[in-house]
Amino acid sequence: MIYKKIANTIKKIDNALVVTDNDPDGISAAILMKVILNRLGKEYGIVVRDHRKLDNLRDIIKNHSSYSSYIFLDSPFPDKDLIEMATNYKDRVFIYIDHHKRAIPEELPENLKYYDIRALGMEIGSTAGIAYKVGKTLFKNDFKRYSIIAMIGAIGDWMVDEDILEDFNSEYKNRFVQNKIFLYPTFILFNTFLFGNSKELVENGELLIDNPYAFFSSIDYDFISKRIKSFYKKIANLEKIYESEKLLVFKSKGTISIIASFIHVLYPSKILIIVSNTADNFLEKIFPRKYKVSVRCSLEKMDVGKLMSEFTSRYGIYGGGHPAAAGGKIWIKDLGKLIEFLESRI
């Protein structure tokens, strides 16, 4: 079983740098991985990468060269970069734990442990869910109290699976859940993970279970309230630029991923695209040329992650993601082409 394999791989390492995404799934996965590494007595460090910039893998390894292994969580670095790193650093182990990829690369170096549950053809769940199941493989029912952290990550990616829900229901029955409906403590915690400072959350997250008072004292509530305020302001300022029977396109001033997930709920039968100007240098700030793009879609048989990677490999800068939630970067002049492309595929 895959979780046992991952557990065995982690047992064998001496130390690790954990690299994770800064969204609720990445944060939760990193917290669970910390609990696992702590209990196994491994040394580790953690880097929270900004998912808007797919940080250069080379720099991460170069800046953290004292580690003999690296654990990537919810961090879909391109396969060719992963393989290049593993080939260049044969004395180190690269453990790739994710749920974004569609296929396993044909030639894997021995020291690249490739655990992408989507590529492996397993039932799709969150990365936090993978970390949770690894923890449960190792520490059995004693790990169940961390199921609430797995829930938060899974909700963040809209991927709550039966196993986690069952553990959560049994562990927290009469406290958080009734008839499988997540009552408000889970939502409040989820918002903390969604709008909170990801670095702080990763640093203190396990205290939520081990010492709740210390956890809540560690939260920067001003930071959260500022982000929530700006979130609603951006929603109020969305500008509709295209609408058809199945496609809806908005332009936003800044942050688009959370807005897209939120707005999509209100238009469940449409593919939703949100774009926002983005600049890679000073000149582009004055003369915008690129859009950040976030796509959401719950139409059956559509895989917008695949479509975005197909489109951006032809016209865009980069793109990809999940069947129901994808993103990328395109040239502003190509937005019409993207709309045309998606209309033709619908």
Nearer to Mn ion, 124 or 339 (CB): 124
* Among candidate residues 117, 157, 156, the one with its CA nearest the CA of residue 324: 157
**Least gap, CB of 22 to Mn ion (angstroms):** 11
Work out which of 7, 19, 134, 157 binds Mn ion, going by CB under 5 A.
157
Per-residue burial over 237-252, b = 16 or more CB atoms within 10 Å of its CB, e = otherwise? eeeeeeeeeebbbbbb
Range in contact with Mn ion (rule: CB under 5 A) among 20-28, 176-184, 220-228, 282-290? 20-28
Buried b (16+ CB within 10 A) or exposed e, 122-134: eeebbbbbbbbbb
Does 167 bind Mn ion (CB under 5 A)? Our answer is no
Between 127 and 186, name the residue whose CB sits nearer to Mn ion.
127
Does position 25 interact with Mn ion (CB under 5 A)? The reply is: yes
Q: How far is CA 169 from CA 34, 148, 173, 176, 180, in A?
A: 23, 9, 5, 8, 7
Helix (H, G, I), strand (E, B) or coil at 10: helix
Least Å distance, CB 76 to Mn ion, is 9
Where do we find the tokens 């929603």? 235
Range in contact with Mn ion (rule: CB under 5 A) among 67-75, 181-189, 281-289, 297-305: 67-75
- Cα 321 to Cα 269: distance, rounded to the nearest angstrom: 20
Q: Which is nearer to Mn ion, 74 or 79 (CB)?
A: 74
Q: Which stretch binds Mn ion (CB under 5 A): 89-97, 103-111, 143-151, 157-165?
A: 157-165
116 binds Mn ion per the rule CB under 5 A: no
User: Contacting Mn ion (CB under 5 A), which of 74, 79, 167, 303?
Assistant: 74
Count the helix, strand and coil residues of the chain and give each as a percent rounded to the nearest 5.
50, 20, 30
CA neighbor of 323 nearest in space, from 190, 160, 158, 194: 158
Which region, judged by CB under 5 A, interacts with Mn ion, from 75-83, 126-134, 196-204, 239-247?
126-134
Q: Which residues bind Mn ion (CB under 5 A)?
A: 25, 74, 127, 157
